[in-house]
Each structure stands twice: as C-alpha cells, then as structure tokens.
Amino acid sequence: MRVMGVDPGLTRCGVGVVEGVPGRPLRMLHVSVVRTSPDDDIALRLLGIDQGINALIDEWRPDAIAVERVFAQHNVSTVMGTAQAAGIALVAAARRGLPVGMHTPSEAKAAVTGNGRADKAQVTAMVTRLLGLETPPKPADAADALALAICHVWRGGAQSRLARARRAAAPGGAGMTQAEINAAKLAAARRAARGKGGYGQ
C-alpha cells in the first residue's frame, strides 16, 4: 500500500509518501514541503499548494491520501489557513477517486511513538527509526506528513476491513458497497498501470 501523508499549512505544507503493509518494515519514497510566501494573495497561495500537491500525486501515484484532521486552536487565522490547505488535498484526492483518511495529530503521534502527546522531536526520531532513514526529515512539517502516512498504513487499512466486516455481519448485510467495489477496482487498475509507467485513472 502506498500512502501520501499531507500535513496541511499555508506557508509550509508537508508531504510524505510511504509504502508498506502492517507488520512489515515501511519504506519512504518521498518527502518534501510545498511552500508559499506570506506576502502573496491567499488565492495565489492556495493555487501554489494545489499545484504542488497535484504534481506530487501524479508523480508518486499513491493508493490513498492521509490528511491531518484540523482541530480548533487559539489562533483562528492559523486554523483557517490549515483548513484551507487541507481542503486542497481532499479535493485533489477526490478528483482521482483516491480514498482519504483523516487523522488527528494525537492519533498520528500515538501510531508512531505510542504516546498521543509526544513532542515534535520524539515524532521525528521515531519516524526516522521506523523508516530506516540515515538523517531525520526536516522541517518538522515533513516528519509530520510521514507520521500521518505511517499512521494510515497501520490503522487505515485495518479500520476499512473492520467496517466492511461489520456491514457484512449486519442483518441483511451484503458485504462491500458498490462504491467500495468500484474503489477497489480503481485501486487495482492503478497498481497495474503503475507497473507499466501509467497512472491508470
């Protein structure tokens, strides 16, 4: 499973791509930060983030996108910018029919460190260790994006399987919905196309 993690932000939007399955070593394929200038108009900044995220999705062809779930902070302007950047990532995923996982910062921290209140240094250290990196990913936005991707690889797939199992076991349950069947077919076609050098949309 190949997951792109997005740590949304207007000035720095972290993006990390991780590949692997639960219970086995993970591999980092890419990490970077999409940057915009605070001096630019908000519309231009969102356009820059949109172009950056879309280019990376087209390049790395993930099977799913993991985005940080925005939560209330004291600085309302910061929350607004973060939410807008998160929306860009969600639309980019929806445009391609990619499944999206929303994870809170505490969920991502708990997934990689075992502690939902871990600080940035602890998260970066564990991400570096889990991915077998020689040097820690910088800045912190990049490490957070990788943590989101790792969280989704380990938790997202399991949650989806549990949800399908619950629906199948429910009275009158028929297993996967048509939308899930279509998504599974699309993911399989995308994986096949990836091996041939195409995106497989």
Per-residue pLDDT at 200: 44
**Residue 59: active-site member:** no
Sheet with 12-19, side-by-side order of all strands: 27-35, 12-19, 2-7, 64-68, 100-103
Per-residue pLDDT at 111: 95
Alpha-carbon gap, residue 156 to 2, rounded angstroms: 12
Alpha-carbon gap, residue 181 to 185, rounded angstroms: 6
Sorted by where each begins, the domain ranges of the chain are: 2-162
Q: Which residues contact 192 (CB under 8 A, 6 or more apart)?
A: 200
**pLDDT averaged per 10 residues, the chain (length 201):** 96 97 94 97 98 98 96 75 96 96 95 95 97 94 97 76 55 56 64 60 41
41 appears as a binding residue in the annotation: no
Q: What angle do CA 165, 169, 174 make, to 5 degrees?
A: 85
Alpha-carbon gap, residue 4 to 60, rounded angstroms: 8
144 appears as a binding residue in the annotation: no
Per-residue pLDDT at 201: 41
**Residue 119: active-site member:** no
0.85 exceeded by pTM:
no
58 appears as a binding residue in the annotation: no
Query: Of the CATH numbers 3.30.420.10, 3.40.50.1010, 1.10.10.10, 3.40.50.720, which one belongs to the domain with range 2-162?
Result: 3.30.420.10
Which of 9, 67, 54 minimizes the C-alpha distance to 33? 9
